[in-house]
Amino acid sequence: MNMFDTITRHKSKRIYSEKEKKCSVLIPLVFKENEWHILFEIRSHTLKKQPGEICFPGGRMEKEDLDSKSCALRETQEELLISPQNIEYIGELDYFLSHSNLRVDVHVGILLDYRNTFNEEVETIFTVPLSYFLENEPELYYNTLQTIPDPSFPFEEIPNGKDYKFSKGLSDTPVYRYKEHFIWGLTARVLYHNIQYFK
């Protein structure tokens, strides 16, 4: 059994919410230097949102997307300037729900005959050997999450009213350092929580 068999058989667990904002990404694999690599994009510095940050190909689901898979494939084709036949789809991994209620569906595919092309949304691309993520744990940092109720919240209906002690939580923030690249944020979380399926 190899990692592709595991990914193909995996069924993503889903919890839907009307408030969820939906997007989809592809973890692109390329075979080079006799081993598998994961391809990352560096977002263009001209973009308004998250310029210069490291990410996977992907984006918000559009009306023309039949499902999250078609969204991930479409975005990858647009951002890397490749045709559909240059992506061998492998399967879907666990989705990720961010603190801002953004649900990211995660897909995996192999880039075939990829020539390092990309559109204006991408500053550049780079690859990291898959073995690096399998052999190296990320640095883990923890951020405190706190519930701040809306002023219109019906405090009079709950015990202790405005003095109610809302719980606090911790959010893990993995960080991968590879050469000059600092991989963190949603990209690192998606990878960290799904890397087990590549073993």
Nearest to 195 by CA among 59, 7, 5, 23: 7
For residue 13, the model assigns a pLDDT of 55
Residues whose CB falls within 8 Å of the CB of residue 18, separated by 6 or more in sequence, listed in order:
none
Model's pTM, two decimal places?
Answer: 0.82
Q: What's the number of domains the chain is made of?
A: 1
Cβ neighbour number for residue 30 with a 10 Å cutoff: 18
What backbone phi and psi angles, to 5 degrees, belong to 22?
Answer: -110, 135
pLDDT block averages, 10 residues each, the chain of length 199: 70 54 93 96 92 94 90 96 96 84 92 96 97 96 87 91 85 92 94 92
CATH number of the CATH domain containing 192: 3.90.79.10
| 102-111 vs 21-32, strand pairing mode | parallel
Which residue range is the domain that position 108 belongs to?
Answer: 3-198
For residue 19, the model assigns a pLDDT of 56
State the DSSP H helix or E strand holding residue 82, giving kind and residue range, or none if neither. Answer: none
